[in-house]
Structure 1
């Protein structure tokens, strides 16, 4: 009798422990690469000259999205969409911020603010690019700690650098041994180690592999077989970023929290192939275009025991989905008043829902625009004909066979849908600097 009672107590205690562990909010980590093309990481199966074992491990232990998109074709608006869960055009964030003048609009609430309200420790480590003004810096937008640059700067001696541990003053790093990618990994690992009493949200937006192409000898020496200097330096930068991802993953494992950590790896936009060699694989276009090469990006999610491992997901998703997915995983409940465009991905990834997360996706970037409805895409993009072009992405991932002339009714239907959506968007809050105006606005624009 006594033995039976003790066994009952043990079982109840074990169940309580398991329930308690299950209820513990997961850590959330977002690795956000800069200008990394869809074809680059080896898990995608196109480029083989740059090993990325740590990023690939996320795909092996998690899920790779073959139709993962971002809501904008370049840096700042992509980040604005990620951290708000809303199309950045809804609040005027159509183009890059203008240094010291325009940033993320004050009435937009970030994922960091929402997770902080749920009891999370929050940190942004890397390239911010959502406003240089004091009121727009990460520590004013929900992050308890910021270590990084306010916009894009060199990898050595970065300018616009802030370490909120020391002060909120902007400075240039003088240390010759300082290399941003390595330094961000150092701080991220340290921060994870020092904030063990709370669930943690780590946002790590690398400035790799954005120009300028700069790398340390340590990483350059890994690629003796690459003779093209531009490609070799790019490879070294990729390898450094992969190492940084590996160090963060290693710390999570060391802390015994891999099963309780939701991780995303995403690029902010497609690769600008000509300038840095970043490959978009078979996709047409590149950064700053609304062809697939500008908007479809490497996109991986890992949450051991929750997200199926080693699988691919082929229906379209967007970086806007990260916020509601993270909030619900953390035990929160998105409110209608948030007016989110993203959706919680977990029911789709676990098979609880078999429908599409999004029937329709939209883009607007000045005179360039696109709509994807099902597998049909209508697009006006730089490098195209100047007229709406229609593609069946299920059969033509490279957007090479324009069906507009053969399917005028479909063109009219998608044009009307995009026109209605575009009319709901806000006017741009900063001037544009796309291809034709880039030189004219060069001094004002921080890319």
Structure 2
């Protein structure tokens, strides 16, 4: 009888162990690039610019064919992503770039940043027991109080501002451009920054392979300055000028990402790791030679070319290979998706506007994740409701497009579908009533530049 109970206990413990293994928290890696053009990736059909590793990632999972960001410029887009909500709700509506902001702003210079009472992805994933790391471009505040190590990330290597050289500086740079290891340990890179950020992530994976980890790999590629290695430039003999530099920088970013994905495979972690790749906003075609076709417009405006981005997600055994998801989604959906995958209850998340995408991806919920999506940049704003999209301007009448039928936004229907215009204006107005006043705004000449750039890259 004693042997019987010992055997029974052994079986129960074995079943419990197997169940625990089956429920093991997945590792999560978010690969985030900067200023990439919608058409400048192999998985989006580019023949000039090669991205074999991201193409392979796309094949292993799904492409969000209507993936959006919460803002058309770097800082606000990152604020919405990392908090899972519309960043305008806490006043983070405009890029935080010292010297560019209106003197009438409530906050200026180093005071600009992600409000301290807003929780980040790092905060939430640590709550679930994850080891957390952030590598690369932060751009959520230069002051010490906004530092990644104080915003939920155990490890940090990168820079606090919005751009910097991809190589070591000869002279001491502006503080927000300094490369920094954790808090206050400044060290310029010995090599090309894109590769170094990925190498840091690889070391973190090796060190933490036996426990759940969350990595936010935030490249500054392919943001200006346009800088590449000579070796990478030689790969594109038929391209010239900005386009050549862009191709080389994108190749480097893809190569670095591939090294990280290979390390997961080497360590046997691929099956239990969620990997997402996306980009912070549309490509600024005038500055880095990026192409957003078939989308109209560029970075810093609310045409599709400013807010629709390449967006991939892979999770072996959970997401079907070579698949696509065709309802509109937003980068603010990633926080609740990650949190739920890690075993958290999304009801714990504060003020989030995003949703857990997994029930939609696996078909348990066949509805669209969002009835409406909104954008606002100072006086300009937009709303997407179903297939319809209204864009409000400060210097011209609003425009209305049917995105399903007119992805390039060439056929303005505002004078034909007048009731739809009124309906969407009402939605936009009601949403704006829920927002805080912007904590900082651009000087007028820079806002005018953004509008002029939109006009120059609007498809006709």
Alignment TM-score, normalising by the size of structure 1:
0.91
Matches of 1:67 and 1:280 in 2, distance apart?
Answer: 14
Aligned to 2:220: 207
1:386–1:18 CA distance, 2 compared to 1 (3 A): farther
Instruction: Provide, for residues 382-432 of structure 1, a one-character-per-residue CA deviation record: whole Å limited to 9, x for no partner.
Output: 8xx721100000100000001111110000000011011011111111122
Q: Any unmatched runs of 5+ in structure 2?
A: 98-108, 451-460
Aligned to 2:125: 115
Matches of 1:14 and 1:232 in 2, distance apart?
Answer: 57
1:21–1:218 CA distance, 2 compared to 1 (3 A): farther
Aligned-residue offset at 1:295: 0.3
The answer to whether the Cα contact below 8 Å between 1:85 and 1:322 also exists between their aligned partners in 2 is: yes
The answer to whether the Cα contact below 8 Å between 1:77 and 1:88 also exists between their aligned partners in 2 is: yes
Aligned to 2:60: 61
Superposition map of 1:74-223 within 5 A: 74-98=73-97, 99-151=109-161, 152-157=163-168, 159=173, 160-164=177-181, 167-169=183-185, 171=186, 173=188, 177-223=190-236
* Residue among 300, 314, 324 paired with 2:312: 300
Aligned-residue offset at 1:143: 0.3
Aligned-residue offset at 1:15: 4.6
State whether structure 2 residue 48 is matched by structure 1 residue 49.
Answer: yes
The answer to whether the Cα contact below 8 Å between 2:378 and 2:441 also exists between their aligned partners in 1 is: no
Matches of 1:433 and 1:12 in 2, distance apart?
Answer: 67
Q: Secondary structure at the match of 1:338?
A: coil
Superposition map of 1:194-343 within 5 A: 194-226=207-239, 228-335=240-347, 338-343=350-355
Aligned-residue offset at 1:14: 6.3
Matches of 1:143 and 1:319 in 2, distance apart?
Answer: 19
Q: Secondary structure at the match of 1:203?
A: strand
Aligned-residue offset at 1:263: 1.2
Aligned-residue offset at 1:351: 0.3
Number of residue pairs aligned between Structure 1 and Structure 2 = 432
Alignment TM-score, normalising by the size of structure 2:
0.89
The answer to whether the Cα contact below 8 Å between 2:282 and 2:307 also exists between their aligned partners in 1 is: yes
* Residue among 433, 444, 449 paired with 1:423: 433
Aligned to 1:443: none
Let me know the Cα RMSD of the aligned residues: 2.4
Aligned-residue offset at 1:122: 0.5
Matches of 1:18 and 1:314 in 2, distance apart?
Answer: 36
Aligned to 2:100: none
Matches of 2:69 and 2:54 in 1, distance apart?
Answer: 19
Instruction: Provide, for residues 43-75 of structure 1, a one-character-per-residue CA deviation record: whole Å limited to 9, x for no partner.
Output: 012x21111011111110011011000000010
Superposition map of 1:320-399 within 5 A: 320-335=332-347, 338-380=350-392, 386-399=396-409
Instruction: Provide, for residues 299-358 of structure 1, a one-character-per-residue CA deviation record: whole Å limited to 9, x for no partner.
Output: 011111011111111100000000000000000112366111000000000000000000
Aligned-residue offset at 1:178: 2.1
